[in-house]
Amino acid sequence: MRVALITGAAGGIGRATVEAFRQDGWQVVAWDVRPYPEAPKDVWMMQVDVSDEDRVVQAMALVGERFGKLDALVNNAAIQITKPLVETTPEEWDRVHRVNLRAAYVVSRAAYPLLKAAGRAAVVHVASVHAIATSAQIAAYAASKGGLLALTRAMAIEWAPDIRVNAVLPGAVDTEMLRAGLSRGHVQGADVEAQLRALAERTVARRVARPEEIAQAILFLADDARSSFIYGHGLVVDGGATIRLSTE
């Protein structure tokens, strides 16, 4: 049976991704820093802080003992801080980069022997459209996601041909992270539902994504039967948000 490790598994996109892989017949190992008591019984839920390197190495050893290989790794865990750059402290900057970028490297590095052991394997980093186009008050997050896209290309070159490394770049997805960001966002005074509607209206698709739509893109890039010739790619899944000129 193919084995997938998914980080940030208790979040919006994480839960949908766990479900998409389960439906596709994978054995899923789910990591999150917070508990996920509703995880399906056939999922191995491990409470792991991906920014804690010792814990990552220890938990990965347990995965190795149990399965001996990993067919897919999905680096999905992330945090977001929305505030002007001059108000962002170095500690906040480091925290964002530690979870969103450094942990992708730390977890991937720890997973490498298990990915190699699978024969053919895939890493999917969950980046963001903020890697390629961004807005005010989200610099630390945007920089971390830009770094993750660069890491995708670097890893794809080093780990080819047996391990394919790609990224998904979601646009706005209806999850806790999006709602928290909007509630602190720059359109002060407007409620979150109104901001969600305004945001949806500006995309070509006229709506934000459901987490399941991102999960399907992740599964596509993880599955060697579906995407065997795709290496180092950043797949934008944003309802057309980034294709429109802001000057039009």
Applying CB under 6 A, which residues contact ligand NAD? 7-8, 10-14, 32-34, 49-51, 76-79, 99, 126, 128, 170, 172-173, 175-178
Strands of the 121-126 sheet, one edge to the other = 44-47, 27-32, 3-7, 72-75, 121-126, 163-170, 234-237
- Which residue's beta carbon is nearest to the bound ligand NAD? 11
Question: Minimum Å distance from CB 212 to ligand NAD?
Answer: 12
Q: Of 116 and 207, which CB lies nearer to ligand NAD in the complex structure?
A: 207
Question: Minimum Å distance from CB 176 to ligand NAD?
Answer: 4
Q: Of 116 and 233, which CB lies nearer to ligand NAD in the complex structure?
A: 233
Q: Is 141 among the catalytic positions?
A: yes
Question: Minimum Å distance from CB 69 to ligand NAD?
Answer: 22
Q: Are 168 and 210 spatial neighbours (Cβ–Cβ below 8 Å)?
A: no
CA 141 to chain centre: 13
Q: Of 46 and 117, which CB lies nearer to ligand NAD in the complex structure?
A: 46
| Structure token digits, residue 100 | 């969103």
How many other CB atoms sit within 10 Å of the CB of residue 155?
24
Q: What does the alpha-carbon distance between residue 127 and residue 13 come to, in Å, rounded to a whole number?
A: 12
Question: Minimum Å distance from CB 160 to ligand NAD?
Answer: 24
Catalytic residue among 36, 105, 112, 141: 141
Q: What does the alpha-carbon distance between residue 204 and residue 41 come to, in Å, rounded to a whole number?
A: 39
Measuring CA to CA, which residue among 172, 176, 175, 170 is closest to residue 199?
A: 172
Q: Of 53 and 117, which CB lies nearer to ligand NAD in the complex structure?
A: 53
Q: What does the alpha-carbon distance between residue 4 and residue 166 come to, in Å, rounded to a whole number?
A: 15
Q: Are 68 and 114 spatial neighbours (Cβ–Cβ below 8 Å)?
A: yes
Q: Of 120 and 184, which CB lies nearer to ligand NAD in the complex structure?
A: 184
Q: Are 128 and 169 spatial neighbours (Cβ–Cβ below 8 Å)?
A: yes
SS3 of residue 238 by DSSP: coil
Q: Are 9 and 211 spatial neighbours (Cβ–Cβ below 8 Å)?
A: no
Question: Minimum Å distance from CB 71 to ligand NAD?
Answer: 21
Catalytic residues: 141
